Structure 1
Amino acid sequence: MSEDNKIRPNLQIPEKLHAEMKRLAEIKQVSIGEAYTQVVRKGIDYTVFPEHEPFEPGSFDCIFLRPRVRHQIGYEKPVIFHPKIGFSDEITAVRLSYPRPSFSFQEFVKSLQLASQQPGFEADEATFTIAREGGMWIGQGLDTFVPTFSNQVERYDQADFDQQRTEEFVLIVPVDAEYLMIKARPDHKHEEIAIKSMRSYRSTNSTGDESLRSVLGAFKAELETYEQTRDITTARLAGEVDPIDYFFEEGQGGEYVDKILIETPAELFRKSGVELPHSTYAPQSVIVDLNHQMVAEDRSEAKYRVSKISILDENNFTNVWIEGDWESK
């Protein structure tokens, strides 16, 4: 056997595939061995090697937010509340190619589960927004996202909608020091999902994208090109706010409050020189991340203040992060 036809270990390569590899080697002006190495290397980079159990869909859980001003659907970007994106002053957007633009509901969930087996994929830290004319549903965690986006009937009962409308969701999942963003349009009648955009956002302390490449392999997607750095607008806020809802987290010793929902503090925004972009689906309420957790049963005995806001205005969504804290009355 000639050197051109050898591959270790001694594998049988179909003639058609070997002919294609020889043609690739000629085009790239490399040896046949190097051509095989490049192709196999890329395949391995985008392959998920499961290292732990996938997440399992949990129970329906979300909060419905109505818009402050009702506009025509299609002209507004959904708001999503991911706290970690707000920690940076700038972030780099990375375009992704996704040759498979649609999935069935079941296929999409399986791809998420496969991706969740990759180290660095933080399924519990995912955040999502499902938007339509008249409002949007927000929540956290992939185990919550799956039953929430697929159960349109329960969501519509929660919002008192009686007619279907076109929906879009934005899902953001941390992968090491990067964030995978998927924007898609679900078709509940046919149980299909049309991908509208996939991007990665890289923070300034990112050290590599090995984990991200494997995660993208679950969706048959690839890194494409690096785009320009995106600035994140930040401003100081100062004011007391009244919670209209609470977000709870289990911890040592019981249940704690780590986030609150407040009416959008438009006056505080104006004083700080910050306003949501005009093209954004501005909600009546926003989430505040508390710097310190508090015991859930003591939540009504505290005063709450906001201190900082960060806004990332992108083509497909607007991320809003508001920082706050509490003190005893």
Structure 2
Amino acid sequence: MPQLLEVVCRTTKMGFAAIARVTDHRWVTCATHDLISFGLKPGDELDVETTICHEVHQGREAVVINNVAKDAGYCDHHTPKMYGFQSYISVPLYRKNGEFFGTLCAIDPKPKEIDTPEIATMFRLYAELISFHLDAVEKIKISEDSLKEEKKIARLRDQFIAILGHDLKNPIATMRMSADILLKMSKEDFTLRNAALIKSTSYRMQALIENILDFARGQMGEGIILEKERHNKSLEEMIKQVIKEIRVISPERKITFNSKLEHEVNCDKNRIGQLLSNLLGNAHEHGSSETQIKVEAKTNSDYFELRVVNSGEKIPDEDLTHLFQPFYSESGSSNKKGLGLGLFIASEIAKAHQGELKVTSSDRETAFVLQIPRE
């Protein structure tokens, strides 16, 4: 705006130009270009009734005066006498919605030939430009305020999720320990069945909490954190432990495991276990209960590969491209269970290992395949 007002002064030969916010009760300077030491700076105010801009506001028409002394309408006007100018121009400014904003005005203590078609056209064009600028600034301000509020809400939400997940870990661990004690000490079938149910539920809750925490960390920029070490037999034992946990939850479900881990793998075995747990939970939930779930783990000179295969209905092609997105549920699923984070977290664990998690599905079987570099 200061550059635009400088052009106004150069073009009209006027000594002072300003953009003013004008209402029924206030006249406030927004921007100025002052060559005559008029003294107004942005933020300064004048008594609105002492200005001709007040009349522009009321009449919504531009006022142009070449020479106050020779102008019949303004030669005795109080404003030129009060502020000491002889030439004057003021045009109304409007927002894009039609609301009156203020004026673009210029003054000089000497008479100037400004009541011409060229200057009138120039001021109208400048008024349109200022109107466009006001609209753009307002939209940016609204967007920035909205973005700040959204970021604040998102930050609070993620902090709440992280704190909630952390505080739930201890009672879940206590619940599982108590269930283990009952399973070892009790001989009553009713107690044993319920203790087993409590224990299986604790595993399910733990998996949900881990997924929520990982999602929250990802939203807050941390991503999946890995603690890599070289594993061979310990990785195989981790896979067996996850399968055992799933069997606790669903003792009726048959799960087979075939291992060909002939090389060491540089990975975070606990994260691989979490990935497998999510895949097995998905296979149990959506696969056919009458068929077995097959787990295969193998290595070659370059890669570690983990496969989870189950039978059941084919996953529709339109769902395959969205399957690893957070909070996504298959279009054919009428009874959604869980948060829809399991496969998303599994794919993020694969990416953190510089690997990939893929899925294929046919009428015969659905297979999830993890492949990560050994080194």
TM over 0.5: no
Please state which band the TM-score falls in when normalised by the shorter chain: under 0.3
Per residue, is there more strand in 1 or in 2? 1
TM-score (norm 1): 0.23
